[in-house]
Copies of this chain bind each other. A is one copy, B any other.
Amino acid sequence: MDVVLLGSGNVATHLGRALIASGHRIAQVYSRSLAGAKALADALGVAATDNLQAIATGADLYVISVTDGAIGDVASSLPPVTGIVVHTAGSIPMDALSGHAAHFGVLYPVQTFSKAVAVDFSSLPLAVEASDEATLTQLEALAASLSSRVFRCDSNQRLSLHVAAVFACNFVNHCYAIGDAILARHGLDFDLIRPLILETAAKVMAHRPDAVQTGPAVRNDTDTMRRHLALLADCPGLAQLYGTLSERIRPTP
């Protein structure tokens, strides 16, 4: 497919690379900032623009990978195009594109992206949704050229996937950060719990998390929880969070 990338952030960068690696052609990179557009366009060896009215109108696919709040603006400012217009956001309904293109949809990669870390798209879950069956078939074919794990997912399911990801990724990382802060306060290094963190993630690759829950709360070990709360006595917010999460984990009698 001939693809125009609208956006130059993490998702646009990784998706652009994956599209080229799978034999697609990036026609152009647009970004509100010309410097951002150029940085990505140069890396991909294609043309850059910061003018939406100057984008190629004959491409097969327009991928809007901008911040959630700007998706509607970019879509409504597009010149008339015949290709499919998609966004890549987890929590924005597909209908944000409705009225701005004849054929539209969503291509949502379920992963956390950093610019510096390479991402293997070949086994990455890719959620697709489209305005009509023919568009869906085209998007599925495109997605299948990138990954072996393509699945259909409506906007509300995609939102639930995004919320699940916030718990299992963003909030998990914050729990790591709390661990780091507690260790630092006691003169210990975060490195001491890195093997534990990796093993905890590795365990749920083959098991459901509920089946492998460990720790004092699931054992209802009130003595240990009391000792832990005593250590957190001078951090009321952490003590309260410890209590809330332990109460959720504790088996109901």
Q: Are A186 and B212 neighbours in the complex by a CB distance under 8 Å?
A: no
- Most B CB within 10 A of own CB, among A114, A157, A197: A197
With an 8 A cutoff between CB atoms, is A134 at the interface?
no
With an 8 A cutoff between CB atoms, is A42 at the interface?
no
Q: Count of chain A residues with Cβ under 8 Å from any Cβ of B?
A: 84
**B-contacting residues, A124-182, CB 8 Å:** 124-125, 151, 153, 156-157, 159-180, 182
With an 8 A cutoff between CB atoms, is A245 at the interface?
yes
Knowing A68-B223, A200-B112, A201-B201, the reply to whether A214 touches B160 (Cβ < 8 A) is no
By secondary structure, the A interface counts as: helix
- Which of B163, B209, B216 is within 8 Å of A228, CB to CB? B163
Q: Are B213 and A174 neighbours in the complex by a CB distance under 8 Å?
A: yes
Q: Which residues of chain B have C-beta atoms less than 8 A from A200's C-beta?
A: 112, 168-169, 172-173, 201
This chain: copies in complex: 2
With an 8 A cutoff between CB atoms, is A69 at the interface?
yes
Minimum C-beta distance from A225 to chain B (A) = 9
Q: Are A176 and B204 neighbours in the complex by a CB distance under 8 Å?
A: yes
Minimum C-beta distance from A242 to chain B (A) = 7
Residues of chain A whose beta carbon lies under 8 Å from any beta carbon of chain B: 67-69, 91, 110-112, 114, 117, 123-125, 151, 153, 156-157, 159-180, 182-183, 185-188, 190-205, 208-210, 212-218, 221, 223-224, 227-228, 231-232, 237, 241-242, 244-245, 248-249
